[in-house]
Amino acid sequence: MKKKNIKIIAIAIMSLVILAGIVVVGIFGFNKELRYGQGQVINVYVEQMVDVTNIKKLVNECLAGKTNMVQTVEIYQDYVTIKAKEITEEQKNNIVNKLKENYEFSQTAEDTTIENVTATKYIDIYKKYIVPFAVSGVIVLAYIVIRYHKKGILKVLGRTIIIPVFGELFLLSIIAITRIPVGRYTPVLVIAMYIASIMMVIRENEK
């Protein structure tokens, strides 16, 4: 099979994946990492420094292995926040009572409330990456256009914009379809795809 035909087939498959990704995002949205997603939280003041690993083990038992997050939020590590997508009254009571078996503190299961937490907006998650990514993108774009201007500025400009955008849309579609959690490690994937796309742009311009 000729290289041109292979390229056309690859572009067609990627386009279908992107369309499927748009449909999935439109219906279900992205699957946010628990720390950024909507969920429920209970806070327990244990009144002493705690072993987070031990508490995580207790919480896993009470939530039957359901995905959860355990954090200490005070400087003395004596205030524990437990988050999961859903926490029932029974699970809350079990968690607090299990903690009381291992630590002495005054807060009871009856004193502990389940709080609903809204999802963090994407702009708030990734705002620290926007300016550096935009600046580096402009620098790379200017460099490639200057280096390959003899190939035709509009042609080079189009490749340098379209290929990375197409690559990022493909990546985000894969993330949406496979339900990979969007969170702390997503920027690493985005940067890796951007680098791969720019390498492809350079290879196309070298022909």
Q: What is the mean pLDDT of residues 141-147?
A: 93
Helical residues (DSSP H) of 29-152, grouped into ranges: 52-62, 89-102, 122-147
pLDDT at 37 over 80: yes
Q: Count of residues for the chain?
A: 207
User: pLDDT tens digits, residue range 86-114?
Assistant: 999 999 999 999 999 988 899 999 999 99
Residue 171: name the closest of 184, 162, 161, 180 by CA: 180
pLDDT at 65 over 90: no
Residue 56 and residue 97 in contact, taking contact as beta carbons nearer than 8 Å: no
| Percentage of the residues of the chain whose pLDDT score is greater than 70 | 99
pTM of the predicted protein model: 0.83
Local confidence band at 75 (pLDDT 50, 70, 90 cut-offs): confident
pLDDT at 42 over 70: yes
Q: What is the mean pLDDT of residues 13-22?
A: 96
Q: What is the mean pLDDT of residues 123-147?
A: 93
Phi/psi of residue 40, nearest 5 degrees: -125, 145
Phi/psi of residue 72, nearest 5 degrees: -100, 135
